[in-house]
Structure 1
Amino acid sequence: MREVAILGVGQTAVREQWDRSIRQLAVAAGRAAMQDAGVERVDAIYVGNMTSGLLNQQLQLGALVADHLNQHGVEAVKMEAACGSAGSAMRQGLLAVASGELDAVLVIGVEKMTETVFKETTAALTTAADADYEIIHGVTFVGLNALIMRRYMHEYGYQRPDFAPFALNAHSNGANNPNAMFQEPITQRIYDKGRIVADPISLFDASPIGDGAAALLLVPADKAPQAIRIIGSSSATDTLAVHDRHDLLWLAAAEQSVQRAYAQAGV
Protein backbone atom coordinates (compact mmCIF):
# COMPACT_ATOMS: atom_id res chain seq x y z
CA MET A 1 0.00 0.00 0.00
CA ARG A 2 1.24 3.48 -0.87
CA GLU A 3 1.31 6.43 1.49
CA VAL A 4 -1.31 9.06 0.63
CA ALA A 5 -1.09 12.84 0.93
CA ILE A 6 -3.49 15.78 0.78
CA LEU A 7 -2.29 17.97 -2.09
CA GLY A 8 -5.12 20.51 -2.20
CA VAL A 9 -8.06 21.74 -0.11
CA GLY A 10 -11.16 23.81 -0.78
CA GLN A 11 -14.10 25.04 1.29
CA THR A 12 -17.16 27.22 1.03
CA ALA A 13 -18.65 29.20 3.86
CA VAL A 14 -21.22 27.30 5.94
CA ARG A 15 -24.44 29.26 6.40
CA GLU A 16 -27.88 29.71 4.86
CA GLN A 17 -27.05 29.95 1.17
CA TRP A 18 -30.37 30.29 -0.58
CA ASP A 19 -28.68 31.68 -3.68
CA ARG A 20 -26.57 28.55 -4.28
CA SER A 21 -27.71 25.04 -5.15
CA ILE A 22 -26.14 21.87 -3.81
CA ARG A 23 -24.35 21.40 -7.13
CA GLN A 24 -22.92 24.93 -6.95
CA LEU A 25 -21.64 24.38 -3.41
CA ALA A 26 -20.00 21.04 -4.26
CA VAL A 27 -18.46 22.36 -7.46
CA ALA A 28 -17.11 25.47 -5.74
CA ALA A 29 -15.32 23.43 -3.07
CA GLY A 30 -14.09 20.85 -5.57
CA ARG A 31 -12.76 23.46 -7.98
CA ALA A 32 -10.99 25.27 -5.13
CA ALA A 33 -9.25 22.04 -4.07
CA MET A 34 -8.13 21.31 -7.62
CA GLN A 35 -6.83 24.83 -8.08
CA ASP A 36 -5.03 24.66 -4.74
CA ALA A 37 -3.35 21.43 -5.87
CA GLY A 38 -2.59 22.74 -9.35
CA VAL A 39 -4.43 19.78 -10.89
CA GLU A 40 -6.69 19.97 -13.93
CA ARG A 41 -7.69 16.31 -14.20
CA VAL A 42 -8.51 13.68 -11.57
CA ASP A 43 -9.09 9.94 -11.76
CA ALA A 44 -12.19 9.84 -9.57
CA ILE A 45 -14.59 12.02 -7.60
CA TYR A 46 -16.17 10.73 -4.38
CA VAL A 47 -18.96 12.89 -2.97
CA GLY A 48 -20.03 12.39 0.64
CA ASN A 49 -23.63 13.43 1.30
CA MET A 50 -26.58 12.26 3.37
CA THR A 51 -29.68 14.28 2.54
CA SER A 52 -29.60 15.39 -1.11
CA GLY A 53 -32.24 12.89 -2.20
CA LEU A 54 -34.66 13.85 0.57
CA LEU A 55 -34.09 17.60 0.86
CA ASN A 56 -32.82 18.62 -2.59
CA GLN A 57 -34.51 15.99 -4.81
CA GLN A 58 -31.09 15.30 -6.29
CA LEU A 59 -29.23 11.99 -6.39
CA GLN A 60 -26.34 11.08 -8.72
CA LEU A 61 -24.18 13.77 -7.12
CA GLY A 62 -21.02 12.07 -8.37
CA ALA A 63 -21.95 12.34 -12.04
CA LEU A 64 -23.50 15.78 -11.54
CA VAL A 65 -20.39 17.25 -9.93
CA ALA A 66 -18.04 15.57 -12.43
CA ASP A 67 -20.04 17.12 -15.26
CA HIS A 68 -19.82 20.63 -13.86
CA LEU A 69 -16.12 20.29 -13.01
CA ASN A 70 -15.47 19.30 -16.63
CA GLN A 71 -14.24 15.87 -15.53
CA HIS A 72 -16.22 13.85 -18.05
CA GLY A 73 -15.56 10.13 -18.06
CA VAL A 74 -14.07 9.81 -14.59
CA GLU A 75 -15.35 7.42 -11.94
CA ALA A 76 -17.72 9.45 -9.76
CA VAL A 77 -20.08 8.28 -7.03
CA LYS A 78 -22.01 9.59 -4.04
CA MET A 79 -21.33 7.91 -0.69
CA GLU A 80 -23.69 7.97 2.29
CA ALA A 81 -22.97 7.15 5.90
CA ALA A 82 -25.25 9.59 7.71
CA CYS A 83 -23.23 12.27 9.51
CA GLY A 84 -20.05 10.44 8.52
CA SER A 85 -20.71 10.57 4.78
CA ALA A 86 -17.82 12.87 3.89
CA GLY A 87 -15.47 10.94 6.16
CA SER A 88 -16.46 7.71 4.43
CA ALA A 89 -15.87 9.30 1.03
CA MET A 90 -12.41 10.34 2.15
CA ARG A 91 -11.69 6.86 3.47
CA GLN A 92 -12.61 5.28 0.13
CA GLY A 93 -10.57 7.87 -1.75
CA LEU A 94 -7.59 7.13 0.46
CA LEU A 95 -7.89 3.38 -0.16
CA ALA A 96 -8.18 3.92 -3.91
CA VAL A 97 -4.95 5.93 -4.00
CA ALA A 98 -3.13 3.75 -1.46
CA SER A 99 -3.91 0.61 -3.47
CA GLY A 100 -2.31 2.04 -6.59
CA GLU A 101 -5.55 1.85 -8.56
CA LEU A 102 -5.90 5.64 -8.80
CA ASP A 103 -3.43 8.52 -8.61
CA ALA A 104 -5.65 11.56 -8.01
CA VAL A 105 -8.97 11.43 -6.17
CA LEU A 106 -11.14 14.45 -5.43
CA VAL A 107 -13.19 14.00 -2.25
CA ILE A 108 -16.08 16.39 -1.59
CA GLY A 109 -18.41 16.66 1.38
CA VAL A 110 -21.56 18.73 0.84
CA GLU A 111 -24.95 19.32 2.43
CA LYS A 112 -27.72 21.82 1.71
CA MET A 113 -30.26 21.70 4.50
CA THR A 114 -31.83 25.12 5.05
CA GLU A 115 -34.37 25.40 2.22
CA THR A 116 -36.90 22.97 3.68
CA VAL A 117 -39.17 23.41 6.67
CA PHE A 118 -37.83 22.18 9.99
CA LYS A 119 -40.18 19.19 10.07
CA GLU A 120 -38.85 17.89 6.75
CA THR A 121 -35.22 18.45 7.73
CA THR A 122 -35.70 16.63 11.03
CA ALA A 123 -37.41 13.72 9.27
CA ALA A 124 -34.55 13.47 6.77
CA LEU A 125 -31.92 13.37 9.50
CA THR A 126 -33.91 10.78 11.42
CA THR A 127 -33.56 8.29 8.56
CA ALA A 128 -30.04 7.58 9.86
CA ALA A 129 -31.64 5.73 12.80
CA ASP A 130 -33.24 2.27 12.73
CA ALA A 131 -36.49 2.65 10.78
CA ASP A 132 -38.18 -0.47 12.18
CA TYR A 133 -37.33 -0.02 15.86
CA GLU A 134 -36.54 3.68 16.45
CA ILE A 135 -38.01 5.95 13.78
CA ILE A 136 -41.39 4.23 13.94
CA HIS A 137 -41.75 5.41 17.54
CA GLY A 138 -41.13 9.05 16.62
CA VAL A 139 -37.63 9.37 18.02
CA THR A 140 -35.30 11.99 16.52
CA PHE A 141 -31.52 12.02 16.45
CA VAL A 142 -31.46 14.75 19.07
CA GLY A 143 -33.80 12.63 21.16
CA LEU A 144 -31.47 9.63 20.97
CA ASN A 145 -28.52 11.79 21.96
CA ALA A 146 -30.54 13.20 24.85
CA LEU A 147 -31.10 9.66 26.16
CA ILE A 148 -27.36 9.01 26.03
CA MET A 149 -26.50 12.32 27.69
CA ARG A 150 -29.03 11.70 30.47
CA ARG A 151 -27.54 8.27 31.11
CA TYR A 152 -24.04 9.77 31.20
CA MET A 153 -25.15 12.34 33.78
CA HIS A 154 -26.69 9.55 35.86
CA GLU A 155 -23.62 7.31 35.70
CA TYR A 156 -20.99 9.95 36.44
CA GLY A 157 -22.84 12.56 38.49
CA TYR A 158 -22.57 15.48 36.08
CA GLN A 159 -25.04 18.34 35.71
CA ARG A 160 -26.01 20.08 32.48
CA PRO A 161 -23.73 23.14 33.02
CA ASP A 162 -20.75 20.77 33.22
CA PHE A 163 -21.03 20.18 29.47
CA ALA A 164 -20.48 23.84 28.61
CA PRO A 165 -16.74 23.50 27.73
CA PHE A 166 -17.64 21.54 24.58
CA ALA A 167 -19.83 24.35 23.26
CA LEU A 168 -17.47 27.09 24.43
CA ASN A 169 -14.57 25.42 22.63
CA ALA A 170 -16.57 24.96 19.42
CA HIS A 171 -17.65 28.61 19.36
CA SER A 172 -14.11 29.71 20.14
CA ASN A 173 -12.88 27.81 17.10
CA GLY A 174 -15.67 29.28 14.99
CA ALA A 175 -14.67 32.79 15.98
CA ASN A 176 -11.33 32.21 14.24
CA ASN A 177 -12.77 30.65 11.09
CA PRO A 178 -14.19 33.01 8.44
CA ASN A 179 -16.12 30.09 6.91
CA ALA A 180 -17.81 29.03 10.16
CA MET A 181 -21.56 29.42 10.53
CA PHE A 182 -21.23 31.07 13.95
CA GLN A 183 -18.26 33.37 14.46
CA GLU A 184 -18.87 34.70 17.95
CA PRO A 185 -17.57 33.12 21.18
CA ILE A 186 -20.02 32.35 23.96
CA THR A 187 -19.71 32.38 27.75
CA GLN A 188 -20.84 29.97 30.44
CA ARG A 189 -23.71 32.34 31.21
CA ILE A 190 -24.90 32.32 27.59
CA TYR A 191 -24.64 28.54 27.51
CA ASP A 192 -26.69 28.18 30.70
CA LYS A 193 -29.48 30.29 29.18
CA GLY A 194 -29.73 28.16 26.03
CA ARG A 195 -33.24 26.82 25.50
CA ILE A 196 -33.77 23.10 25.87
CA VAL A 197 -34.06 21.21 22.58
CA ALA A 198 -34.45 17.68 23.99
CA ASP A 199 -33.87 17.52 27.73
CA PRO A 200 -31.06 17.68 28.80
CA ILE A 201 -29.65 18.85 25.43
CA SER A 202 -29.82 22.60 24.97
CA LEU A 203 -29.48 24.76 21.87
CA PHE A 204 -25.72 25.09 22.35
CA ASP A 205 -25.21 21.32 22.67
CA ALA A 206 -26.82 20.58 19.31
CA SER A 207 -25.13 21.16 15.97
CA PRO A 208 -26.92 23.57 13.61
CA ILE A 209 -28.00 22.82 10.07
CA GLY A 210 -26.40 24.74 7.23
CA ASP A 211 -25.39 24.83 3.59
CA GLY A 212 -21.76 24.26 2.69
CA ALA A 213 -19.07 22.06 1.18
CA ALA A 214 -15.43 21.13 1.64
CA ALA A 215 -13.03 19.16 -0.56
CA LEU A 216 -9.64 17.42 -0.57
CA LEU A 217 -7.39 16.28 -3.42
CA LEU A 218 -5.64 13.00 -2.55
CA VAL A 219 -2.47 11.80 -4.31
CA PRO A 220 0.40 9.35 -3.64
CA ALA A 221 2.75 10.87 -1.08
CA ASP A 222 5.83 10.17 -3.20
CA LYS A 223 4.45 12.45 -5.92
CA ALA A 224 3.94 15.34 -3.50
CA PRO A 225 6.70 15.22 -0.85
CA GLN A 226 5.73 18.62 0.59
CA ALA A 227 2.05 17.76 0.97
CA ILE A 228 0.37 16.65 4.20
CA ARG A 229 0.70 12.87 4.61
CA ILE A 230 -2.12 10.78 6.05
CA ILE A 231 -0.34 8.48 8.48
CA GLY A 232 -3.38 6.69 9.90
CA SER A 233 -6.97 6.08 8.85
CA SER A 234 -9.68 3.58 9.71
CA SER A 235 -13.42 3.19 10.08
CA ALA A 236 -15.69 0.77 11.94
CA THR A 237 -19.34 0.18 12.77
CA ASP A 238 -21.42 -0.50 15.86
CA THR A 239 -25.03 -1.67 16.08
CA LEU A 240 -27.24 0.91 14.39
CA ALA A 241 -30.04 0.78 16.95
CA VAL A 242 -28.97 2.30 20.24
CA HIS A 243 -30.89 -0.28 22.29
CA ASP A 244 -28.79 -3.11 20.81
CA ARG A 245 -25.52 -1.78 22.25
CA HIS A 246 -24.05 -3.61 25.21
CA ASP A 247 -23.25 -0.26 26.85
CA LEU A 248 -25.14 2.89 25.93
CA LEU A 249 -22.11 5.02 26.77
CA TRP A 250 -19.41 2.99 25.03
CA LEU A 251 -18.69 4.07 21.44
CA ALA A 252 -17.31 0.77 20.17
CA ALA A 253 -16.91 1.90 16.56
CA ALA A 254 -14.90 4.94 17.63
CA GLU A 255 -12.70 2.77 19.84
CA GLN A 256 -11.98 0.21 17.15
CA SER A 257 -11.30 2.70 14.37
CA VAL A 258 -9.06 4.87 16.55
CA GLN A 259 -7.02 1.89 17.72
CA ARG A 260 -6.42 0.79 14.13
CA ALA A 261 -5.52 4.31 12.99
CA TYR A 262 -3.11 4.73 15.91
CA ALA A 263 -1.50 1.39 15.06
CA GLN A 264 -0.99 2.49 11.46
CA ALA A 265 0.57 5.73 12.63
CA GLY A 266 2.77 4.02 15.18
CA VAL A 267 1.24 6.00 18.03
Structure 2
Amino acid sequence: MGNPENIEDAYVAVIRPKNTASLNSREYRAKSYEILLHEVPIEGQKKKRKKVLLETKLQGNSEITQGILDYVVETTKPISPANQGIRGKRVVLMKKFPLDGEKMGREASLFIVPSVVKDNTKYTYTPGCPIFYCLQDIMRVCSESSTHFATLTARMLIALDKWLDERHAQSHFIPALFRPSPLERIKTNVINPAYATESGQTENSLHMGYSALEIKSKMLALEKADTCIYNPLFGSDLQYTNRELQTTQKSKYLNRKNGREA
Protein backbone atom coordinates (compact mmCIF):
# COMPACT_ATOMS: atom_id res chain seq x y z
CA MET A 1 0.00 0.00 0.00
CA GLY A 2 1.10 3.54 -0.67
CA ASN A 3 1.29 6.45 1.68
CA PRO A 4 -2.22 7.03 3.14
CA GLU A 5 -1.75 10.74 2.58
CA ASN A 6 -1.51 10.09 -1.17
CA ILE A 7 -4.64 7.92 -1.33
CA GLU A 8 -7.79 9.74 -2.40
CA ASP A 9 -11.40 8.63 -2.03
CA ALA A 10 -13.08 8.64 -5.43
CA TYR A 11 -16.77 8.19 -6.17
CA VAL A 12 -17.91 7.28 -9.67
CA ALA A 13 -21.25 8.15 -11.28
CA VAL A 14 -21.73 5.93 -14.33
CA ILE A 15 -24.60 7.46 -16.32
CA ARG A 16 -26.22 6.54 -19.60
CA PRO A 17 -28.97 8.19 -21.67
CA LYS A 18 -32.15 6.24 -22.35
CA ASN A 19 -32.22 7.48 -25.95
CA THR A 20 -30.12 9.58 -28.32
CA ALA A 21 -32.79 12.29 -28.68
CA SER A 22 -32.22 13.48 -25.11
CA LEU A 23 -28.58 14.30 -25.91
CA ASN A 24 -29.56 17.17 -28.21
CA SER A 25 -32.21 18.65 -25.95
CA ARG A 26 -31.52 21.99 -24.25
CA GLU A 27 -33.98 20.98 -21.53
CA TYR A 28 -32.74 18.60 -18.85
CA ARG A 29 -34.98 15.73 -17.80
CA ALA A 30 -33.75 13.34 -15.13
CA LYS A 31 -36.02 10.63 -16.53
CA SER A 32 -33.86 10.56 -19.66
CA TYR A 33 -30.91 9.10 -17.73
CA GLU A 34 -29.99 6.03 -15.74
CA ILE A 35 -27.29 5.82 -13.09
CA LEU A 36 -25.34 2.90 -11.67
CA LEU A 37 -25.71 2.41 -7.89
CA HIS A 38 -24.79 -0.19 -5.27
CA GLU A 39 -27.07 -1.39 -2.48
CA VAL A 40 -25.34 -2.08 0.83
CA PRO A 41 -26.72 -3.14 4.24
CA ILE A 42 -27.35 -0.42 6.80
CA GLU A 43 -25.11 -0.96 9.80
CA GLY A 44 -27.03 -2.60 12.62
CA GLN A 45 -30.10 -3.25 10.44
CA LYS A 46 -29.76 -6.51 8.52
CA LYS A 47 -32.90 -6.20 6.41
CA LYS A 48 -32.58 -2.55 5.45
CA ARG A 49 -30.27 -1.37 2.70
CA LYS A 50 -29.08 1.96 1.34
CA LYS A 51 -27.88 3.02 -2.07
CA VAL A 52 -24.33 4.25 -2.65
CA LEU A 53 -22.29 5.38 -5.63
CA LEU A 54 -19.41 3.27 -6.87
CA GLU A 55 -16.37 3.97 -4.70
CA THR A 56 -12.67 3.31 -5.20
CA LYS A 57 -9.29 4.54 -3.98
CA LEU A 58 -6.83 6.47 -6.11
CA GLN A 59 -3.09 6.69 -5.62
CA GLY A 60 -1.79 10.23 -5.98
CA ASN A 61 0.74 9.24 -8.65
CA SER A 62 -1.54 6.86 -10.61
CA GLU A 63 -3.17 7.32 -14.01
CA ILE A 64 -6.60 8.45 -12.82
CA THR A 65 -8.60 8.16 -16.04
CA GLN A 66 -7.52 4.64 -16.97
CA GLY A 67 -7.68 3.51 -13.35
CA ILE A 68 -11.33 4.56 -13.04
CA LEU A 69 -12.31 3.09 -16.42
CA ASP A 70 -10.68 -0.23 -15.47
CA TYR A 71 -12.43 -0.16 -12.08
CA VAL A 72 -15.83 0.31 -13.73
CA VAL A 73 -15.19 -2.58 -16.13
CA GLU A 74 -14.13 -4.95 -13.34
CA THR A 75 -17.01 -3.93 -11.06
CA THR A 76 -19.66 -4.48 -13.74
CA LYS A 77 -18.36 -7.73 -15.23
CA PRO A 78 -20.70 -9.94 -13.12
CA ILE A 79 -23.82 -8.15 -14.39
CA SER A 80 -22.93 -7.78 -18.07
CA PRO A 81 -23.28 -10.33 -20.90
CA ALA A 82 -20.21 -12.49 -21.54
CA ASN A 83 -18.57 -10.95 -18.49
CA GLN A 84 -17.42 -7.98 -20.59
CA GLY A 85 -18.10 -5.18 -18.14
CA ILE A 86 -19.31 -1.67 -18.92
CA ARG A 87 -16.77 0.44 -20.78
CA GLY A 88 -17.04 4.16 -20.15
CA LYS A 89 -16.30 6.70 -22.84
CA ARG A 90 -14.24 9.07 -20.70
CA VAL A 91 -13.77 10.32 -17.13
CA VAL A 92 -14.84 13.80 -16.05
CA LEU A 93 -14.06 15.27 -12.62
CA MET A 94 -17.26 16.99 -11.53
CA LYS A 95 -16.48 18.26 -8.05
CA LYS A 96 -14.67 17.60 -4.79
CA PHE A 97 -16.67 17.16 -1.58
CA PRO A 98 -15.42 17.68 2.01
CA LEU A 99 -15.53 14.58 4.20
CA ASP A 100 -16.90 14.32 7.73
CA GLY A 101 -16.06 12.31 10.81
CA GLU A 102 -12.69 10.59 10.98
CA LYS A 103 -11.77 11.91 7.52
CA MET A 104 -12.58 15.53 8.31
CA GLY A 105 -10.19 17.87 6.52
CA ARG A 106 -9.95 15.59 3.49
CA GLU A 107 -11.95 15.56 0.27
CA ALA A 108 -13.56 12.97 -1.97
CA SER A 109 -13.79 13.45 -5.73
CA LEU A 110 -16.88 12.72 -7.79
CA PHE A 111 -16.06 11.50 -11.29
CA ILE A 112 -18.63 11.14 -14.06
CA VAL A 113 -18.24 8.24 -16.48
CA PRO A 114 -20.64 8.50 -19.45
CA SER A 115 -21.63 5.18 -20.99
CA VAL A 116 -23.37 4.09 -24.19
CA VAL A 117 -27.02 4.88 -24.85
CA LYS A 118 -29.36 2.29 -23.34
CA ASP A 119 -30.02 -0.61 -25.71
CA ASN A 120 -31.55 -4.07 -25.53
CA THR A 121 -28.62 -5.52 -23.60
CA LYS A 122 -29.88 -7.55 -20.65
CA TYR A 123 -27.97 -7.02 -17.42
CA THR A 124 -28.10 -9.72 -14.77
CA TYR A 125 -28.98 -8.85 -11.20
CA THR A 126 -26.20 -10.11 -8.97
CA PRO A 127 -26.29 -9.51 -5.18
CA GLY A 128 -23.54 -7.13 -4.14
CA CYS A 129 -23.13 -5.72 -7.65
CA PRO A 130 -24.38 -2.36 -8.95
CA ILE A 131 -27.41 -2.00 -11.22
CA PHE A 132 -28.88 0.85 -13.26
CA TYR A 133 -31.68 2.97 -11.80
CA CYS A 134 -33.78 5.65 -13.46
CA LEU A 135 -32.25 8.94 -12.31
CA GLN A 136 -35.67 10.57 -11.95
CA ASP A 137 -36.86 7.83 -9.58
CA ILE A 138 -33.69 8.25 -7.55
CA MET A 139 -33.95 12.05 -7.32
CA ARG A 140 -37.58 11.90 -6.17
CA VAL A 141 -36.55 10.30 -2.89
CA CYS A 142 -32.99 11.61 -2.60
CA SER A 143 -32.10 13.92 0.27
CA GLU A 144 -29.24 14.14 2.74
CA SER A 145 -31.57 13.03 5.54
CA SER A 146 -33.00 10.07 3.61
CA THR A 147 -32.28 6.63 5.01
CA HIS A 148 -32.34 5.23 1.47
CA PHE A 149 -28.96 6.78 0.65
CA ALA A 150 -25.57 7.22 2.25
CA THR A 151 -25.26 10.89 3.25
CA LEU A 152 -22.30 11.63 0.98
CA THR A 153 -23.92 9.79 -1.93
CA ALA A 154 -27.11 11.86 -1.50
CA ARG A 155 -25.07 15.06 -1.48
CA MET A 156 -23.26 14.00 -4.65
CA LEU A 157 -26.46 12.95 -6.44
CA ILE A 158 -28.08 16.32 -5.73
CA ALA A 159 -24.98 18.06 -7.11
CA LEU A 160 -24.96 15.76 -10.15
CA ASP A 161 -28.61 16.54 -10.89
CA LYS A 162 -27.87 20.27 -10.80
CA TRP A 163 -24.70 19.81 -12.89
CA LEU A 164 -26.57 17.98 -15.65
CA ASP A 165 -29.26 20.67 -15.67
CA GLU A 166 -26.62 23.38 -16.14
CA ARG A 167 -24.72 21.45 -18.81
CA HIS A 168 -27.83 20.85 -20.90
CA ALA A 169 -28.13 24.62 -21.26
CA GLN A 170 -24.65 24.76 -22.81
CA SER A 171 -24.55 24.15 -26.55
CA HIS A 172 -22.88 20.90 -27.64
CA PHE A 173 -21.71 19.97 -24.12
CA ILE A 174 -23.92 16.91 -23.59
CA PRO A 175 -23.39 15.46 -27.11
CA ALA A 176 -19.64 15.89 -26.59
CA LEU A 177 -19.84 14.21 -23.17
CA PHE A 178 -21.40 11.08 -24.67
CA ARG A 179 -19.63 10.99 -28.02
CA PRO A 180 -17.47 7.93 -28.76
CA SER A 181 -14.12 7.76 -27.01
CA PRO A 182 -10.97 8.53 -29.04
CA LEU A 183 -10.22 4.81 -29.42
CA GLU A 184 -13.75 4.12 -30.67
CA ARG A 185 -13.35 6.79 -33.35
CA ILE A 186 -10.26 5.11 -34.85
CA LYS A 187 -11.40 3.08 -37.85
CA THR A 188 -8.01 1.92 -39.17
CA ASN A 189 -4.61 2.02 -37.55
CA VAL A 190 -1.36 1.46 -39.46
CA ILE A 191 1.93 1.88 -37.62
CA ASN A 192 4.89 3.35 -39.47
CA PRO A 193 7.89 1.27 -38.32
CA ALA A 194 10.13 4.33 -38.67
CA TYR A 195 8.52 5.76 -35.53
CA ALA A 196 9.05 2.69 -33.37
CA THR A 197 11.63 3.65 -30.75
CA GLU A 198 11.16 0.98 -28.10
CA SER A 199 13.86 -1.64 -28.06
CA GLY A 200 13.02 -5.31 -27.88
CA GLN A 201 9.88 -5.11 -30.00
CA THR A 202 9.17 -8.14 -32.12
CA GLU A 203 8.29 -7.82 -35.77
CA ASN A 204 4.71 -8.86 -35.05
CA SER A 205 4.18 -6.22 -32.38
CA LEU A 206 6.00 -3.59 -34.41
CA HIS A 207 4.20 -4.15 -37.69
CA MET A 208 0.93 -5.48 -36.21
CA GLY A 209 1.08 -8.47 -38.57
CA TYR A 210 2.03 -6.49 -41.68
CA SER A 211 5.30 -6.49 -43.57
CA ALA A 212 7.03 -3.19 -44.28
CA LEU A 213 5.81 -3.29 -47.90
CA GLU A 214 2.22 -3.94 -46.79
CA ILE A 215 2.41 -1.04 -44.35
CA LYS A 216 3.69 1.26 -47.09
CA SER A 217 0.87 0.16 -49.40
CA LYS A 218 -1.78 0.72 -46.73
CA MET A 219 -0.40 4.15 -45.81
CA LEU A 220 -0.41 5.20 -49.46
CA ALA A 221 -3.98 3.96 -49.83
CA LEU A 222 -5.16 5.76 -46.70
CA GLU A 223 -3.47 9.04 -47.57
CA LYS A 224 -4.31 8.78 -51.29
CA ALA A 225 -0.76 9.86 -52.06
CA ASP A 226 0.79 9.60 -55.53
CA THR A 227 4.33 9.27 -54.23
CA CYS A 228 6.02 8.53 -50.96
CA ILE A 229 9.30 10.37 -50.30
CA TYR A 230 11.57 9.10 -47.58
CA ASN A 231 13.84 11.48 -45.69
CA PRO A 232 17.34 10.02 -46.23
CA LEU A 233 18.58 11.72 -43.06
CA PHE A 234 16.00 10.07 -40.81
CA GLY A 235 17.61 7.69 -38.37
CA SER A 236 21.14 8.62 -39.41
CA ASP A 237 23.77 10.22 -37.22
CA LEU A 238 24.56 12.92 -39.77
CA GLN A 239 24.66 16.46 -38.46
CA TYR A 240 22.70 18.98 -40.46
CA THR A 241 21.26 22.45 -39.97
CA ASN A 242 17.73 23.71 -40.51
CA ARG A 243 18.98 25.67 -43.52
CA GLU A 244 20.31 22.53 -45.19
CA LEU A 245 17.05 20.70 -44.50
CA GLN A 246 15.00 23.56 -45.93
CA THR A 247 17.19 23.58 -49.06
CA THR A 248 16.65 19.84 -49.52
CA GLN A 249 12.88 20.19 -49.12
CA LYS A 250 12.77 23.13 -51.55
CA SER A 251 14.78 21.18 -54.11
CA LYS A 252 12.38 18.22 -53.90
CA TYR A 253 9.39 20.55 -54.24
CA LEU A 254 10.83 22.18 -57.39
CA ASN A 255 11.67 18.81 -58.91
CA ARG A 256 8.13 17.54 -58.34
CA LYS A 257 6.67 20.77 -59.72
CA ASN A 258 8.71 20.34 -62.89
CA GLY A 259 7.58 16.75 -63.29
CA ARG A 260 10.79 15.16 -62.05
CA GLU A 261 11.48 13.07 -58.99
CA ALA A 262 14.55 13.86 -56.89
- Give the TM-score band, short-chain normalised: under 0.3
Q: TM-score, normalised by structure 2?
A: 0.23
Of Structure 1 and Structure 2, the greater strand share is in 2
TM (norm. structure 1) is 0.22
